[in-house]
Amino acid sequence: MQVKKFLIAQTPEELAQWCKDSGFPGFRAKQLQQWIREKMVIEPEKMLNIPALLRQKLREDFYAPSMKIAEKAASSDGVTKLLLELYDGEHIEMAIIPAGDGRVTFCLSTQVGCPVGCRFCASGKNGLKRNLHTGEILEEFLLGCGYLGRRCDNIVFMGIGEGLLNCNELFPALEMLSSQTGFCFAPRRITVSTSGYIPGMQKFADLQKEYTLAVSLHAPDEETRAKIIPDPLRFPIKDILSAVDTYREKAGRMVTLEYTLLAGINDSDAQAEALGRLAFAHHAKVNLIPYNSTGNDFRRPSRERIESFEKHALATGAVVTRRMERGSGKNAACGQLRIKAESEKK
Ligand code: SAH
Ligand code: SF4
């Protein structure tokens, strides 16, 4: 399939060049830039001050947009999940998550499927289909803003996929989101979550930008971690923690260690203490995520167990937070809407 370019991913220079090559005057590129960056509109038919001929040429040369909302799922806690259909019929998900203080976080995907295949996660169930393009990642953001009626306050790449296995497309998207000629989004308000893919963590640190890094540790020891994350994309904990140190030093940002709590697997008080000690030693925060069932063999620990785990981790002096239990209804865990859509397609 011939893949077109994505209008939203065009830099100001690329737009100017395209206008020139297509025989339109330079000020048109500036107008397009205003529509895209300031008004956040990419559909040529909505660009009222652009002549019909130029709008037609835009439609011919670019995806604008490349995706559409295939399904919306709202849960009682205010989270809205959007199932998005891509230009090639594949699906991804994004979530719009309001916080109590009025702020809104977008949770975005980076890949169609995921090659890591963590055993509890719906996103990795059928492996990786393909990487998302820079333009598709940016369109998720744009589509979310359109749906919300304003820009979000935070962006977390915690949807489908392992973003640091798609650095080539993700990093230009981060740059476009945060740069002054792009969407001027504060880098600190953008979080990339990784399963601990070390080569990607190193490249991310080399950007030396103040993006936030979250690492899904899920276990304080190798034996437990091996029950959760399969080979070959599982890296040794000690190497992950030294990549965490490098990130903190190069980006100047404290790293978050995510820990999905699975009953009987990684939820003992001894594991909580071991986790707290690791986090404290590496100046990292811990974020506990009670497991959302995706219909596999794992279970969420009881409320008492989660509280005891949190207490024992806190006792080590580490900073520990717990993800609000939200979106815990049907299809709440990321990747589930997509799996459903895929099986309906067949
Ligand atoms: N691939 C990256 C980012 C996407 S997953 C990563 O693994 O970090 C984002 C977070 O959601 C991870 O911490 C993951 O462990 C968690 N997660 C995925 N499915 C979940 C589920 N069913 N219940 C609770 N947490 C889940
Ligand atoms: Fe992939 Fe993250 Fe899911 Fe693991 S938890 S399968 S790395 S999306």
Question: Can you give the pTM of this predicted structure?
Answer: 0.96
Stronger pLDDT, 193 or 294, i.e. the higher one:
193
pLDDT attached to residue 331: 57
Write the DSSP assignment of 110-154 as a string of letters.
Answer: -EEE-SS--TT-STTTT-EEEEPPHHHHHHHHHHHHHHHTS--SE
Write the DSSP assignment of 32-89 as a string of letters.
Answer: HHIIIIIS----GGG-TTS-HHHHHHHHHHEESS--EEEEEEE-TTS-EEEEEE-TTS
Average pLDDT over residues 9-21: 96
pLDDT attached to residue 247: 98
Q: Which of 40-44, 69-73, 330-334 has the lowest mean pLDDT?
A: 330-334
Taking CA atoms only, the protein residue closest to ligand 1 atom 17 is 121
- Give percent above pLDDT 70 in the chain: 96
Instruction: Give the number of whichever ligand sits closest to the CA of residue 229.
Output: 2
Q: Kindly report, as residue ranges, where domains of CATH 3.20.20.70 are found in the chain.
A: 68-345
Cα-based angle 88, 90, 95 (whole degrees, multiple of 5): 130
The tens digit of pLDDT for each residue in 83-135 reads: 999 999 999 999 999 988 899 999 999 999 999 999 999 999 899 999 999 99
pLDDT attached to residue 296: 83
Listed residue (304, 308, 337, 310) closest to 323, CA to CA:
310
Tokens in use for 225? 């971690």
Q: Kindly report, as residue ranges, where domains of CATH 1.10.150.530 are found in the chain.
A: 5-63
Annotated catalytic residues are: 93, 334
Q: Cα of 11 to ligand 2 centre, how many Å?
A: 31
Average pLDDT over residues 59-68: 97
Biggest alpha carbon–alpha carbon distance for the chain: 68
Q: Residues lining ligand 1, CB < 6 A?
A: 120-121, 158, 162, 193-195, 216, 258, 260, 289, 291-292, 294, 333-334
Cα separation, 160 vs 123, whole angstroms: 5
pLDDT attached to residue 62: 98
Instruction: Identify the helix (H) or strand (E) that includes residue 93.
Output: strand 91-98
Atom of ligand 2 minimally distant from the CA of 229 = 4
Residue 310 phi, psi (nearest 5)? -60, -45
Candidate of 123, 193, 291, 336 to mutate for ligand 1, largest count of ligand atoms within 8 Å of Cβ: 193
Instruction: Give the number of whichever ligand sits closest to the CA of residue 336.
Output: 1
The tens digit of pLDDT for each residue in 154-183 reads: 999 999 999 999 999 999 999 999 999 999
Contact 136, 88 (CB under 8 A): no
Q: Cα of 163 to ligand 1 centre, how many Å?
A: 12
Superfamily of the domain at 68-345: Aldolase class I (3.20.20.70)
Cα-to-chain-centroid distance, residue 219? 21
Ligand 2 lined by 161 (C-beta under 6 Å): yes
CB count within 10 Å of CB 177 equals 20
Indicate whether 54 pLDDT > 80. yes
Q: Cα of 118 to ligand 1 centre, how many Å?
A: 9
Architecture of domain 5-63: Orthogonal Bundle (1.10)
